[in-house]
Structure 1
Amino acid sequence: MFAESKKNRIEPLTGQTNRIVENTIIKGDLISEADIRIDGDLEGSITAKGKVVIGRAGKVTGKIQCMNADIEGKFEGDLLVENILTLKGTAAIEGDVVVGKLAVEPGATFNAACSMKGASLKSVQENDAKQQKATEKSA
């Protein structure tokens, strides 16, 4: 009956990927409804409702929270993956990791405290918030 204007229509973001290419350096936080691929350097946090891919040349220092992740490059920090974390043979991980499932190829470096999702990400986030409030009160 009424024609829906293209301006008001919300397109699904499935299959769309944000790309940070090699030789790009970003200091800050990324938030996305779609997938993200990092082939450059990022200092900060990534929050994505899709998949986060760190390419072979990519390096992320900070916090990642996403549905799925494939890592070929370097990551240092807190990694919260709702479903599957896949570490390729060239991956180097250091920090704290909470995942639903973990797949590690031979050759990957995994120096992390890892917990698989018996404790949900939500409870981990709530604990982080409680710890942060306690730290703020004591400061």
Structure 2
Amino acid sequence: MKPAEGSTVIGKSVVIRGELSGEEDLYIDGDIEGTITLKESALTIGPNARVRADISVRDVTVFGHLTGNVQATGRVDLRQSAIVNGDILAGRLSIEESAILKGSVELKSNSEGKSKSATPAATHAAPVESGAPLFTQPQA
């Protein structure tokens, strides 16, 4: 995995404790603990990363380990090597096969600010755990 051109890079030997905020795309491959706020930018959590933080971003792509809640106005992508423990609130969500997510998911419409759920009273989806099938075949 290579950082996108123009991204700020936090390398795998870097350890940061505290608050990260900014207005440019960020690629993390190190060890981060705290909060990450990139309201108008994209975050990539690289394959070597260990992030323990609540995250507020436009878009996030996860290849590594993330423990914390995610709020994304755009898209959350969990790649096959991702391990995520936390709740996700996003406009869109993509989960590759073999990615692990333990937490709840709520999808929001960007234009209306309303939840995309089957029932208006529902605030969170049921937790999804590794190995649990998302869909089952109907019995004949």
TM bracket, shorter-chain basis: 0.7 to 0.9
State how many pairs are aligned: 107
Larger Rg: 1
Instruction: Report the alpha carbon displacement of residue 120 of structure 1 after superposing the two structures with TM.
Output: 3.6
Unaligned runs of 5+ in 2: 115-140
Name the structure 1 match of 2:37: 47
1:105 correspondence with 2:96: yes
TM norm structure 2: 0.72
User: Which runs of structure 1 show a deviation greater than 4 angstroms over 4 or more consecutive aligned residues?
Assistant: none
For 1:50-89, list aligned pairs within 5 A. Answer: 50-89=41-80
Q: CA RMSD in A?
A: 1.6
CA distance in 1, matches of 2:86, 2:77: 16
Identity value in percent: 27
Unaligned runs of 5+ in 1: 1-14, 122-139
Residue 91 of structure 1 aligns with an amino acid whose one-letter code is A
More helix by share: 1
Residue 27 of structure 2 aligns with an amino acid whose one-letter code is R
TM norm structure 1: 0.73
For 1:1-139, list aligned pairs within 5 A. Answer: 16-48=6-38, 49-118=40-109, 120=113
1:102-129 per-residue CA deviation (whole Å, 9 max, x = no partner) reads: 00100000101110115849xxxxxxxx
